[in-house]
Structure 1
Amino acid sequence: MGLMIVSSVGISFGGLVIRAIETADVWQINFYRSIALVVVVALIMSLRHGRAAMTRTRGIGRPGLLAGVMLAGAGICFLQSITNTTVANTLFMLSAIPFFTAALARVFLGERLMRTTVMAMCAAAVGIVVMVSGGIGAGSLYGNMMGLLTAFCFSCYTIIVRHHRGIEMLPALMVSGCAIIVISLVLRWGDLAIPLGDILYCFLLGGILSGLANSLFIAASKHLAAAELTLFMLLEFALGPVWVWLFIAETPTRATIAGGAIVIGSVAIRAGLELTSNRKRRKAGIQPPL
């Protein structure tokens, strides 16, 4: 849970970084962001495994390739959604991720959720609805469907990573990054020149924020149920508006503040209950489950 909290808090600064980018469009951002992500993950692999890094990379096999494709699909569909419908609609669709993941995990992994986790998921979903309620509109059917497909692709990625937690899945991030680089090159060939400042922000977004968040996500997947992984991701939606409010005075609505407080509170209560439960188990001499 600590890994996922750090991961979600880190990636929640992404919106603030994107606000600082002046001229780059979404495909240009993704091109440079993905380059940074691939480089950072390759560096992490080298530091962790040394000469065995290439062997570990090839060892992801079909599961790792499929996970990378799903993560790339989620990233691409997200861009299509947020540029073809309202931000509120996109966030509303993404709030379905924990529920998609729970359903898929029940079918393919046989994972059952504790009642406290289900209650936290439902409370967090209410918080997301409150956050975006003021901005939900008809939007574009295409954009709304892309948002729903984003949620489905990321849930599939989570299931694959969780199911194959015995495999080093960090290289799947490189697969995802390379796929987006190729697609961005095809769509923006000859139009990739952007200011140096924007490039640096893209590198910060991909190399530090995304690299950190995704690496911790994969590490946490070895210890949390699939639905719990995606539950903690909702912190990103709640904290993102807070940073732009604090640093660039982009004032959130009352609904955003109230909904964000519900999300943060539900996740905090879920983590607190788990800590209390583990403390009782330790006193009783029972090893906490992984």
Structure 2
Amino acid sequence: MTVITDLAQSPGRRGYAMGLMVISSVSISFSGLVIRQIDLADPLQINFYRSIALIVSVSLIMVFRYGASAPTHVRRIGRPGLMAGTFLAGAGLAFLQSITNTTVANTLFILSAIPFFTAALAWLFLRESLQRLTVFTMLAALCGICVMVAGGIGAGSLYGNVMALVTALCFSSYAIVVRRHRGIEMLPSLIVSGLVIMVISGLLRWRDLNIPLHDIALCFLLGGVLSGLANALFIAAAKQLVAAELTLFMLLEFALGPIWVWIFISERPTDWTITGGAMVIASVTTRALFELARSHRNTRRLRQNPL
């Protein structure tokens, strides 16, 4: 995490922060592939063990980074950290309800609105404005998402669609809280999120938490490695990127997820999914590369004209 923080605070910090978000989105995009390899565990059981792994991994990061003072930093998150963790837990729980009660296309389409919800909330509460290039990128990526789910959107379940909307609003709110309180070490908020999900999933499934060791290992990979890495990078990048930019890069997750399933278990996505995914990847990657190139130009200019 020290390396992550140093990168985010370097002269080309915005470009590097976008790079962190690309890595974050790519890492979490493997979640679907991991879940497909789970044999018997149901969604609540997956969430229970995933949350345990997330709590352990974030706790280890805190101890590694802060040593004996780690508990002090955990207490310092205060109300903002508790709010952030609760919003993130709400997003995770609502997503589970959405994906099991409506079509994947419906869920994906509604979640693609996260950057726009975040932009609206950021303007309202943080007074953050967007660069014109970022707005164009958001629109291009949204077009890609629309192509991905073309033909798959239907009426679905009203409950499932509402849960997808709740997921989007909760995650957007989480991004706003993390961004607004970027001066606070927000990693412990992930522990709060894990505890909330673990308790709720455990209470709902407490009679049957026995699953195969193979499934437990995959849940630990999902929570301890993929979710832990993605969320740690998200928090680090939040120190430099406006809230809408943070969530914009999440669209890479939606685009790459079907590709990994195709590559590793030969489950071929539709041509629409491939085309739309390519549009999302191209638009978001171009935005990141543009910012990185501009950061390098600014750095060279400062070195040539230090005064």
TM-score, structure 1 normalization:
0.97
Is 2:296 the counterpart of 1:279?
yes
Q: Which residue of 2 aligns with 1:193?
A: 210
**CA distance, structure 2, for counterparts of residue 146 and residue 241 of structure 1:** 22
Q: CA deviation at 1:13?
A: 0.4
User: CA offsets, 1:191-229, max 9 Å, x none?
Assistant: 100001000000000000000000110011001111000
**CA distance, structure 1, for counterparts of residue 123 and residue 303 of structure 2:** 26
| Alpha carbons of structure 1 residues 7 and 285: separation in structure 2 relative to 1, 3 Å | same
Q: Which residue of 2 aligns with 1:144?
A: 161
Is 2:213 the counterpart of 1:169?
no
Amino acid at match of 1:149: V
Task: Name which of 107, 113, 117 aligns with 1:90.
Answer: 107
Aligned partner of residue 137 in structure 2, secondary structure: helix
User: CA offsets, 1:49-91, max 9 Å, x none?
Assistant: 0011000000000000000000000000000100000011001
Aligned partner of residue 249 in structure 2, secondary structure: helix
| Alpha carbons of structure 1 residues 286 and 150: separation in structure 2 relative to 1, 3 Å | farther
Aligned partner of residue 284 in structure 2, secondary structure: helix
**CA distance, structure 2, for counterparts of residue 278 and residue 50 of structure 1:** 34
**CA distance, structure 1, for counterparts of residue 232 and residue 25 of structure 2:** 11
Name the count of aligned residue pairs: 287
Matches within 5 A, 1:34-183: 34-183=51-200
Q: Which residue of 1 aligns with 2:244?
A: 227
Runs of 4+ with >4 A deviation? none
**CA distance, structure 1, for counterparts of residue 297 and residue 84 of structure 2:** 37
User: CA offsets, 1:151-193, max 9 Å, x none?
Assistant: 0000000000000001010000000000011101110011100
Task: Name which of 203, 223, 229 aligns with 2:220.
Answer: 203
Aligned partner of residue 285 in structure 1, secondary structure: helix
**CA distance, structure 1, for counterparts of residue 22 and residue 253 of structure 2:** 9
Amino acid at match of 1:65: L
**CA distance, structure 1, for counterparts of residue 275 and residue 126 of structure 2:** 35
User: CA offsets, 1:220-249, max 9 Å, x none?
Assistant: 100111100000111000000000000000
Q: CA deviation at 1:285?
A: 2.5
Amino acid at match of 2:274: I
For structure 1, the residue ranges without an aligned partner over 5 or more in a row are: none
Aligned partner of residue 94 in structure 2, secondary structure: helix
Amino acid at match of 1:198: D
| Alpha carbons of structure 1 residues 14 and 178: separation in structure 2 relative to 1, 3 Å | same
**CA distance, structure 1, for counterparts of residue 37 and residue 298 of structure 2:** 47
For structure 2, the residue ranges without an aligned partner over 5 or more in a row are: 1-17
User: CA offsets, 1:265-290, max 9 Å, x none?
Assistant: 10011112212322332343299xxx
**CA distance, structure 2, for counterparts of residue 283 and residue 29 of structure 1:** 48
Q: CA deviation at 1:29?
A: 0.1
**CA distance, structure 1, for counterparts of residue 211 and residue 179 of structure 2:** 38
Task: Name which of 201, 207, 218 aligns with 2:235.
Answer: 218
Deviates more, 1:225-234 or 1:276-285: 276-285
